């Protein structure tokens, strides 16, 4: 049984699109960067913490064997938990979810007319251990006017997005170039995740 340790509707949609069978059990952990933490270290740490928190919560409920049905049946699907976290970085600075509308506008002004990086950390926790990886995508923004930024922030779309924008939403018209995985910018690098699932689970009960 694969569990997605995220409440993100975009991650749910992407896994479903890829034909992955899963259930959702969001993790609830603090997402603040640690002092001096590098962006890749930040997202991979959070992905690991999310996956492991949900895994140990569920195995505590299901029993030490981590069986999907909690009855210790050897034929039951083993538990696997997928954690993920995405951030935007510019000049080494982490741009997480905006605190408010003013913070969202600040981030968009920083991204205006420049290229930035989107980094997603993913972690797959099973009884055998935790595998962690990261994907990096470069994104170019057009130059934005103050009026465009204000109108976009007013839609509310930026408020729960790293970097204060959604590539699949209204910000798409400002992105002329992406280098790397598009789905990574949405919040989940599908090819990387599916390769991890295949390698660890062999597609068993998942793909």
Query: How far, in Å, CA of 69 to CA of 174, rounded?
Result: 48
Write out pLDDT tens, residues 2-33. Answer: 999 999 999 999 999 999 999 999 999 988 89
Average the pLDDT over each of 34-48, 68-82, 151-165 and give the range with the smallest value. Answer: 68-82
Give whole-number Cα distances, 69 to 27, 66, 81, 127, in Å.
Answer: 21, 9, 15, 15
C-alpha closest to that of 123 among 205, 51, 74: 51
* Residue of higher predicted confidence among 122 and 203: 122
Catalytic option among 32, 69, 77, 85:
85
Per-residue pLDDT averaged across 163-171, rounded? Answer: 96
Per-chain mean pLDDT for the chain: 91
CATH number (3.90.950.10, 3.30.565.10, 3.20.20.210, 3.40.50.970) of 2-201 reads: 3.90.950.10
Q: Is the pLDDT of residue 137 over 70?
A: yes
Calculate ∠ Cα 18-117-156, nearest 5°.
75
CA distance 201 to 183: 22
- The pLDDT, as a whole number, for residue 62 is 54
Higher-confidence residue of 146 and 69: namely: 146
Q: What distance in Å separates the CA atoms of residue 144 and residue 126, rounded to the nearest whole number?
A: 44
Asked if residue 119 has pLDDT above 70, the reply is yes
pLDDT at 77: 73
Output the pLDDT for position 71: 36
Give the model's pLDDT for residue 64.
46
Tokens of 63: 């029993």
pTM: 0.88
Show the 3-state SS of 22-68.
CEECCCCCCCCCCCCCCHHHHHHHHHHHHHHHHHHHHHHHHCCCCEC
Each domain of the chain, given as residue ranges in start order, spans 2-201
Does 103 qualify as catalytic in the annotation?
A: no
Helix crossing, 101-111 with 146-154: angle to 10°?
140
The CA distance from 14 to 184, in Å, is 10
Note the pLDDT tens digit of each residue in 56-106: 999 986 544 455 443 334 445 789 999 999 999 999 899 989 999 999 999
**Among residues of the chain, what percentage have pLDDT more than 70?**
90
């Amino acid at each position: 049984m694969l569990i997605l340790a995220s409440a993100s509707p975009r991650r749910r949609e992407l896994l479903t699109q890829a034909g992955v069978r899963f259930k959702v059990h969001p993790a609830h952990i603090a997402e603040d960067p640690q002092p001096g933490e590098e962006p890749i270290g930040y997202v991979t740490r959070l992905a690991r913490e999310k996956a492991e928190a949900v895994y140990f919560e569920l195995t505590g409920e299901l029993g030490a064997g981590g069986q999907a049905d909690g009855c210790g049946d050897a034929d039951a699907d083993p538990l696997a938990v997928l954690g993920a976290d995405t951030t935007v970085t510019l000049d080494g600075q982490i741009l997480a979810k905006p605190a408010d509308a003013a913070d969202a506008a600040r981030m968009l002004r920083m991204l205006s007319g420049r290229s930035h990086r989107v980094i997603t950390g993913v972690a797959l926790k099973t009884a055998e251990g935790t595998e962690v990886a990261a994907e990096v995508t470069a994104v170019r923004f057009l130059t934005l006017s103050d009026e465009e930024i204000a109108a976009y922030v007013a839609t509310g779309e930026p408020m729960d997005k790293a970097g204060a924008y959604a590539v699949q939403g209204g910000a798409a018209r400002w992105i002329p170039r992406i280098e790397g995985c598009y789905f990574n910018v949405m919040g989940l690098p599908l090819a990387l995740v599916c390769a991890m699932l295949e390698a660890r689970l062999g597609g068993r009960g998942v793909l």
